[in-house]
Amino acid sequence: MYILKDYLEKADVTEALDDEKFFCRYLWLINHSFADEMLLLKNNKCEFIAFTKRMANEFNLNPLILGKTFNSTDDISEGVKEEIFKQEQLLLKNQIPQNSFYFYRKDNQINNYFVRKRPLINPATKNAVGIMVVTTKVQPNMQRRFIMKEFLGFSEQILSSSKPDLGTLHQQILFCLLLGINNRKEIANTLSKITGKEISENQIKNALQALYKEFDCSSYSQLVTLTLNGQIPFQIPDQTIPPGNYLIT
């Protein structure tokens, strides 16, 4: 990082601290700088030390979990807990930041988050004393909606859907279309592999026809456009992607 020399040489900034004091100072800075972020802080034992109210509300974190590890959570599977713990142990050992997609089941639906994990490294000892976790909810059409609203004059009413919620298979088909999979056979094969259930090409055909009728269109591309514009309500349906934290390599 490039830093103005006047700041780099300030004694009260560059003074050597032991690991505990460095961690406490970082905690104080985070508390005053990231209050409105979805952020949490863990120590080098992967115990929760602090998290913001937004983080607590989004992931149902009770303050009683402070001082405990992820294993104390009730709404996460044991397999996911174990995988996240291994990932964080590797981060602390290698001192290399991690980016990941986290799929979390909340209110009977799967929400997707972009997660950035950064080791807190004490410059005096070179030790990783903890982990800072910053999370953002993924909204695939956010940039498109912003441009259409701010620069093309679309109103929020036009960009918002008043249609009823769709069934699981319809949402799964939209999920495939957004990924660029638009052949009925490929959609059926993809969903069969992801869900572990046999889904036929004929089921996909019938579901697509229902979507065309519901939203008054006749092609894959129109469905994608309406979805990205927010005119078709879309969320990743349950049992499509297993909940978990998937590292981006």
This prediction has a pTM of: 0.76
The answer as to whether 234 is a domain residue is no
Q: What number of other Cβ atoms are within 10 A of residue 62's Cβ?
A: 10
Taking only the tens of pLDDT, the chain with its 249 residues reads: 787 877 777 756 667 899 999 999 999 988 888 878 999 999 999 999 999 999 999 999 999 999 999 888 887 889 999 999 999 999 999 999 999 999 888 877 788 899 999 999 999 999 999 999 999 988 766 665 666 666 666 555 444 544 556 788 998 899 899 888 989 999 999 999 888 889 999 999 999 999 999 889 999 999 988 887 777 877 776 667 778 899 986
Those residues with Cβ within 8 angstroms of residue 222's Cβ, 6 or more apart along the chain or in another chain: 215
What per-residue confidence (pLDDT) applies to 13? 62
Q: Are residues 127 and 168 in the same domain?
A: no
Q: Report the first-to-last Cα separation within the chain, whole angstroms.
A: 23
The answer as to whether 44 is a domain residue is yes
CATH of the domain at 165: 1.10.10
210 exposure class (CB count in 10 Å sphere: 0-12, 13-18, 19+): middle
Helix locations, 40-136, DSSP H: 53-59, 78-94
Instruction: Identify the DSSP state of 76.
Output: S
d(CA 203, CA 184): 9
What is the extent of the structural domain holding 199?
142-228
Q: Are residues 147 and 169 in the same domain?
A: yes
Q: Are residues 134 and 29 in the same domain?
A: yes
Q: Are residues 71 and 113 in the same domain?
A: yes
What per-residue confidence (pLDDT) applies to 168? 85
- Reported as half-sphere exposure (CB side, CA atoms, 13 A), residue 27 has a value of 15
The answer as to whether 237 is a domain residue is no
Q: Are residues 105 and 176 in the same domain?
A: no
Q: Are residues 212 and 176 in the same domain?
A: yes
Cβ atoms of 68 and 47 within 8 Å: the answer is yes
What per-residue confidence (pLDDT) applies to 195? 81
Q: Are residues 22 and 101 in the same domain?
A: yes
CATH of the domain at 48: 3.30.450.20
Cβ atoms of 217 and 88 within 8 Å: the answer is no
What is the domain count for the chain?
A: 2
What per-residue confidence (pLDDT) applies to 148? 60
